[in-house]
């Protein structure tokens, strides 16, 4: 099996795992979202520390900390990521997976807007049309809801801003996750200990299955990142762009087919506009990428 095939399989597996995330968080639905987040952060840090020790990558960590701007960037990205995780877990466990999936569908288009505003990147005509179509889709859903689809927008904006800032930090995904969770872990560890002291903590007080799932939250967070990092280095950027829609598609299908969430006519129209926008955006990105590659 060649490197490209391995990379494709690894990347697809990562996106499938992200697409199935709602199933994992639903299994912890009997626990508050804040407690789930606390354990996810703490156990993710533990798992990453173990992996970095096994791989002997502490020089890489030292290089990141020696560049002071990285530290301030990770301080901000840690809270952006924590907020994104909290909203997503809460959305899943309050039966709003469909809206959460919309957030990750529009995330690439939010990235385009952020790149235009903060990095002064130029939009192609088709990309501009894509952004307008996505805006119309969100506006339509807002009018039908009678409220902003704030879950989708918040997820897209927090993750988009997180990605924008992470681009400026000189660190790989695993080392980046170390710092993102490292800043938050002391706060959440104190929170877990406080709950345990007052008899309201979930860990070791419900059943073994719950304990295993809480510890496993660190593993299910890090494994897709490892697979994605491995795969993305071995396949074309444009291929990654197309494959990324596997994750929100999986989340949408899980929400509608497995948990029987409503997918109304309004959803169909709004998602349809966003999907057309994504098709135009992906196609234009693919064409532009091919033009830059010498034949």
The predicted pLDDT at position 156 comes to 93
Long-range Cβ contact pairs of 160-163 (< 8 A, separation 24 or more): 160/107, 160/110, 160/111, 160/113, 160/114, 161/80, 161/114, 162/77, 162/80, 162/81, 162/84, 163/111
Confidence of residue 41 (pLDDT cuts 50, 70, 90): very high
Dump pLDDT digits (tens) for 174-195: 888 899 999 999 999 999 999 9
The predicted pLDDT at position 295 comes to 47
| Residue-range definition of the domain harbouring residue 102 | 3-292
Q: Which of 252, 246, 250 is nearest to 271 (CA)?
A: 252
Q: For residues 36 and 28, is the Cβ–Cβ distance under 8 A?
A: yes
pTM for the whole structure: 0.91
Integer Cα distance of 89 and 100 in angstroms:
10
Confidence of residue 291 (pLDDT cuts 50, 70, 90): low
Buried b (16+ CB within 10 A) or exposed e, 59-98: ebbeebeeeeebeebbeebbbbbbbbbbbbbbbbbeebbb
Domain count, the chain: 1
Integer Cα distance of 162 and 84 in angstroms:
9
Dump pLDDT digits (tens) for 10-33: 989 999 999 999 999 999 999 999
Question: For residues 156, 158, 161 and 165, what is the CA-based torsion angle, rounded to 10 degrees?
Answer: -140
Integer Cα distance of 124 and 273 in angstroms:
19
Dump pLDDT digits (tens) for 215-266: 999 999 989 988 887 887 788 766 777 788 899 999 999 999 999 999 999 9
Average pLDDT of the chain, as a whole number: 88
């Amino acid at each position: 099996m060649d490197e490209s095939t391995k990379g494709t399989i690894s990347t697809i597996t990562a996106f499938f795992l992200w697409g199935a995330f709602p199933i994992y968080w639903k299994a912890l639905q009997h626990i508050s979202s804040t407690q789930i987040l606390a354990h996810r952060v703490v156990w993710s840090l533990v798992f990453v520390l173990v992996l970095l020790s096994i791989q002997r990558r502490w020089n890489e960590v030292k290089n990141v900390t020696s560049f002071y701007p990285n530290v301030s960037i990770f301080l901000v990205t840690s809270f952006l990521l924590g907020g994104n995780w909290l909203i997503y877990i809460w959305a899943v466990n309050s039966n709003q997976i469909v809206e959460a999936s919309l957030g990750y569908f529009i995330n690439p288009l939010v990235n385009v807007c952020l790149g235009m505003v903060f990095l002064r990147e130029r939009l192609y005509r088709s990309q501009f049309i894509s952004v307008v179509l996505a805006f119309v889709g969100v506006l339509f859903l807002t009018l039908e809801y009678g409220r902003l689809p704030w879950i989708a927008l918040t997820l897209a904006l927090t993750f988009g801003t997180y990605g924008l800032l992470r681009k400026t930090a000189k660190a790989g995904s695993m080392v980046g996750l170390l710092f993102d969770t490292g800043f938050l872990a002391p706060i959440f560890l104190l929170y877990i200990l406080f709950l345990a002291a007052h008899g309201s903590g979930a860990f070791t007080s419900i059943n073994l299955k719950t304990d295993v799932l809480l510890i496993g939250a660190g593993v299910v967070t890090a494994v897709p990142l490892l697979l994605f990092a491995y795969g993305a280095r071995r396949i074309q950027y444009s291929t990654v762009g197309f494959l990324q829609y596997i994750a929100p598609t999986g989340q949408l299908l899980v929400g509608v087919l497995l948990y029987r969430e409503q997918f109304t006519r309004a959803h169909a129209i709004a998602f349809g506009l966003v999907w057309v926008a994504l098709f135009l955006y992906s196609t234009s990105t693919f064409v532009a990428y091919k033009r830059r590659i010498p034949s």
